[in-house]
Amino acid sequence: MKLALIILLFLSIFSGFETKVSELLKVTLPHGGGLIGRYLSSHSGRGIRAFMGVPYAEPPLGPLRFSNPVPKKSWEGFLKVTGNSDNCLQYDYLFKGKESIGSEDCLYLNVYVPQVPKSQDPLPVMVFFHGGGFQSGSGERASYGPDYLLDEDIILVTGNYRLGVFGFLSTNTLDSPGNYGLKDQSLILKWVQGNIAAFGGDRSSVTIFGQSAGGASVTYHTVSPLSRGLFHRGIAHSGTHFGLWAIQDATVAARNAEKLAKVLKCPTKKSNPEEMLECLRSKSAQEINSHFYDFFLWDIYPVIYWSPVVEPPNEGAFLDQKPSENSKGHDIPLMLGVTSNEGAMVSSSVLYSSKLINDVKTKWSSILPPTLSYSFYSKDVQNEVTDMITDFYVQNHEKDMNDPIFFQKFTDVMSDGYFTSAADRFLQFRQENDQNALNSNTYLYLFNHKGDSSFAEQLQQDVNADHGVCHADDLIALFPVLKEHFFSSVPTEEDDYVRKAMVSLWVNFATYGNPTPTEEDVELPRWNPVGSFPYNYLRIGRYNQTENVSRISMEKGLYDERLLFWRKIISLITESAVDID
């Protein structure tokens, strides 16, 4: 008891002491105000100056809800930015989170800078946009910290952007055109252009990269008038704006806004969206967010209910035409890729529930459209697409999720429907609109490393499960996800090899626009541009360490038959009219 009292007394005495702040942890911004950061260290022990929770926009509260972001006003003196800000308001629905987390006041970013760079030149900047289906996630250090990337001479910027209804509600009118989360991202890029030199960064060498919805965001920025000229290279992990899930017809978005207004007892008249928005802005954020789970058709599908749209013409539009109609901005170097079992994100989560397992077996035709985001078309189109998918992947096989053969078939359906087809459509678009850029500046990868831990285990809640290289598993090689979220796992020698290789490839691309390192401490093949179909791609990792194949190698022909099949599906869907009645 005496010891406890002594400790409490000691803490109370020293809690009031002012600690000395190193000048190295102070940064003065161009507007005159400054930041005080903290000291961290990288995986190899290099010092890092970390500035976490830097405000880049005014809090989107009151009249700024469902509005374009407003840059943060200048301030006097120094702000202490040494910890994570609140996440943007959300549910962690991919992991079945039933509690709302976060805040509307969430537009903050993080900047990580090497303490002692090897070079005296301004450093290349890498800006990461997190995934989470535009509905969840954050740029927090626990998930996207600088531990690995800051072993190299780059500056890493991560940040939050508005999610779900707060980031993507659209009335399909100028009252609330939508895309606020993407506009937040664009404002982050403007902040980088205006401020990164103060941290020693090179504003003329900015690479954006992101995963899943973050990957789709990267490709959106290449065609957005708001982001033009704000970055110079892009890397899209497991997502492009051509995913059926990544864009929503504006009429569907307007109907969704009316549905929300109805459950909140707000006016829903299409003739007066201003009155509807006034009512929605009067509601508490928690009340609005509490209806997040009300609109799904099966489990958590369509997985993205609030999503990007083509806006009605307006001066501040992020997206003013369909990506397929806009080839501007595609002349920058780009990397994109997928993991070898992307769809395990869906299939492994189904195994968590006996009800979902039974639904797959008994309600196949009704669950596939919302799961793969084609439920907004006529029943005839839905049935035709479902029959085509069934004939190609499943045939007459029993739809038993506990059967390893069907489980893999289901996984492949989800992999291709969500991610590989979206990558293929993006590559086709590049080829059709800018042949030279495709052949010289586009690089494709397949992440095939089965590490000691996988996100699939977490989705199924079975640490002994092995469902392949799941969606987001490639992030484990770039960020301290293994350390922070898989804390009972120890990286293997193979894990360390893949981590070093990926960091080298990604940083080299961010520095030179070419991922093949000129000097490296790991032996890597030359990564050739993707070329025309069938594609060249870099296979990163071997699924089974006993496989008699190299750890990393150039290959040709990525899921050719499956990609050609999905071209037929996409053609059928995109040529059909949306039916929301």
Among all residues, which ones are annotated catalytic?
212, 342, 471
- CB-hemisphere CA count at 13 Å for 507? 23
Note whether 135 and 304 are within 8 A (CB): yes
Q: Which residues pair with 57 in a beta bridge?
A: 71
Give the separation between CA 473 and CA 521, rounded to whole angstroms: 23
Cβ–Cβ < 8 Å for 128, 156: yes
Return phi, psi of residue 327, to 5°: -100, 0
- Residue 202, φ and ψ in degrees, nearest 5: -100, 105
Nearest to 531 by CA among 552, 505, 555, 559: 555
Identify the CA nearest to 206 among candidates 270, 160, 155, 256. 155
- For 157, phi and psi rounded to 5 degrees? -120, 130
Q: What residues form DSSP beta bridges with 338?
A: 446
468 CB contacts (<8 Å, ≥6 apart)? 340, 341, 344, 411, 450, 454, 456, 543
CA distance 466 to 482: 16
Question: Residue 344 and residue 471: Cα distance in Å, rounded?
Answer: 7
d(CA 549, CA 168): 45
**509-518, long-range: CB < 8 A, 24+ apart:** 509/207, 509/233, 509/235, 509/333, 509/335, 509/443, 510/124, 510/125, 510/126, 510/154, 510/205, 510/207, 510/209, 510/233, 511/124, 511/154, 511/205, 513/232, 513/233, 513/333, 513/441, 514/333, 515/335, 515/443
Determine the Cα–Cα distance for residues 155 and 537; give it in Å rounded to an integer.
Answer: 27
Q: Which residue has the tokens 């791609």?
A: 537
Residues in CB range of 92: below 8 A, 6 or more apart: 101, 136
Backbone φ and ψ of 107, nearest 5°: -90, 80
Q: Cα(229)–Cα(227) distance, rounded to whole angstroms?
A: 6
Which amino acid appears at position 57 of this protein?
A
Distance, in Å, from the CA atom of 528 to the CA atom of 538, rounded to the nearest integer, reads 8
